[in-house]
Amino acid sequence: MKKIVTFGEIMLRLTPPGNLRFSQAASFDAIYGGGESNVAVSLANYGLPVEFVSRLPKNDIGECALMEMRKRGVGTQHIVRGGERLGIYFLEIGAVSRGSKVVYDRAHSSISTIQAGMINWKEVFKDAQWFHWTGITPALSQGAADACYEAIQVANKMGITVSTDLNYRKKLWKYGKEPGEIMPDLVEGCDIILGNEEDAEKHFGLHPENVDVTQGDSVEGTAYLSVLKQLMERFPRAKKVITTLRGSISASHNSWTGVLYDGKTLFEAPTYQITHIVDRVGGGDSFMAGLIYGLLTYPDDDQKALNFAVAASCLKHTIYGDANLSTVEEVETLMGGDASGRVSR
C-alpha cells in the first residue's frame, strides 16, 4: 500500500498531573503531539504506512519529538531541521463543570519560520496516495501557509487525494492575515473536507441554518446538512464533506457522533455517550485518522468509514495524551456494539 503523508507542527505538551490546576502544579507531564502528528500516529497504529513532514529545531528537544514519531512507527525522513525552538502548549485538564484550558507558547517555533521551497514535495509524494493538512498550519505564519499551498499544488498535480481538517484556532491567527484571506485558496485543492460549524463560519462565513450550537445537549446531524451543502458548493473539487457533532453536557460527559455528505446522501453515525472523559485533546485528530483509514479500507462503504471514525474518536477520549493508541480490533469491537470495557485476557 502507498503511504499517507501529513504535514504540520508537533509540539511539547506540558500538563499538570491528574486534574490539577496550573496554580497547583509542582510538576508537569511531558507529551509530544500536534494535529497532523496525531493523525500520523493513529494511522501507524492501524498498520498503515505513514510519514510526518515538519520542521524541527536541531537540539535535544527536537530530537525527543523526532524519537516520539519513530517510536510510534511514523516515517520521519523528510522532516527538515532548523529554526529556534519547538512550540510548547500548556494544558490544564478540566472536570465536570470546569472546562479545560490551553496556554500556547509557540511563537518563533521552527515550523512557523518554514518557507516555501524548503521541502521537496515531489520527493515526499513519490510513493504517496494521500496528503493531509489542517487549518492550524497556515494559521502560524505566511511562510507556513505558503509551504502548505505548495504541498497541495504538487499533490494535486500528482493525483494524490488531499484532505483537510479546517481546525479554526482563534489564538493562532496573529501574523496580519485573516483566515478568509488564506484558507479558501488552500481548501480549493482538497478532495475531503472535515470541519464543524465554527470552522465553516470563521473561515468562509458559512453557518448552519436554525441551529444554536451553544446549547449543551446534542444536535441532530441533519441540522448541519445546510452547511455541508454550502461547503461543497463553495469547493466543487470536494467529493465528501464531514463534520463531527459534540454535545457538551459537562467537561467530563460529552455526546459524540458525526455526519458525512457526498453530494447526494447524508450519512449519520451512531451517537456515543462518553460519560467519563480521560482526555478529549486530539478527539478531532483521531476522527480524521479513523476517517482516512475507513475511506481507504472500505472504499465503497461511506457509512462504515464514518462509523469507524466516530468509534475510533470515541475511544480516544479514554486515552491520556494527544494521540489515539486504539487498535483496529478495539475500534471494530466498539463498532459492533460492545462497549462493555471488559478485561481482555
Residue 50 lies in a domain: yes
Residue 344 lies in a domain: no
Residue 345 lies in a domain: no
Q: Cα(306)–Cα(267) distance, rounded to whole angstroms?
A: 8
pLDDT recorded at residue 219: 56
Number of H helices, E strands in the chain: 11, 15
Q: How confident is the model at residue 337 (pLDDT cuts 50, 70, 90)?
A: confident
- pLDDT tens, 151-197? 999 999 999 999 999 999 888 999 999 999 999 999 999 999 999 88
Q: Cα(295)–Cα(310) distance, rounded to whole angstroms?
A: 13
- pLDDT tens, 103-128? 999 999 999 999 999 999 999 999 99
Q: Cα(293)–Cα(281) distance, rounded to whole angstroms?
A: 20
Q: Record the pTM.
A: 0.94
Give one DSSP letter per residue of 17-42, joined into a string.
Answer: STT--GGG-S--EEEEE-HHHHHHHH
Task: Using the structure block, give the residue that is written with the C-alpha cell 484550558.
Answer: 101
Residue 340 lies in a domain: no
Give one DSSP letter per residue of 254-289, joined into a string.
Answer: EEEEEEEE-SS-EEEPPPEEE-S-S--TTHHHHHHH
Whether 210 shows a pLDDT value over 90: the answer reads no
Residue 185 lies in a domain: yes
- pLDDT tens, 233-246? 999 999 999 999 99
List the grid coordinates of 191: 478532495
Coarse DSSP helix, strand, coil percentages of the chain, rounded to the nearest 5 percent: 35, 20, 40
- pLDDT tens, 58-84? 999 999 999 999 999 999 999 999 999
Residue 192 lies in a domain: yes
Residue 210 lies in a domain: yes
Rg (CA), the chain: 19
CB 190 within 8 A of CB 155: no
Whether 214 shows a pLDDT value over 60: the answer reads no
Task: Please count the structural domains in the chain.
Answer: 1
Helix pair 179-187, 197-204: axis angle to 10 deg: 110
Average pLDDT (252-281) is 94
Whether 345 shows a pLDDT value over 50: the answer reads no
List C-alpha distances in Å: 32 to 88, 90, 102, 105, 141: 9, 12, 15, 14, 21
Q: Which of 230, 158, 226, 160 is nearest to 191 (CA)?
A: 160
Domain range spanning residue 84?
A: 3-335
- pLDDT tens, 5-52? 999 999 999 999 989 999 999 999 999 999 999 999 999 999 999 999
- pLDDT tens, 220-235? 667 788 889 999 999 9
- For the domain that residue 201 is a member of, what is the CATH number? 3.40.1190.20
Q: 257 phi and psi, to 5 degrees?
A: -160, -170
CB 233 within 8 A of CB 193: no
Pinpoint the alpha helices (H) of the chain: 35-45, 60-71, 121-124, 136-140, 142-157, 179-187, 197-204, 225-234, 283-297, 302-316, 328-335
Helix pair 302-316, 328-335: axis angle to 10 deg: 110
pLDDT recorded at residue 171: 86
- pLDDT tens, 303-324? 999 999 999 999 999 999 999 9
Q: How confident is the model at residue 212 (pLDDT cuts 50, 70, 90)?
A: low
List the grid coordinates of 204: 468562509
Residue 40 lies in a domain: yes
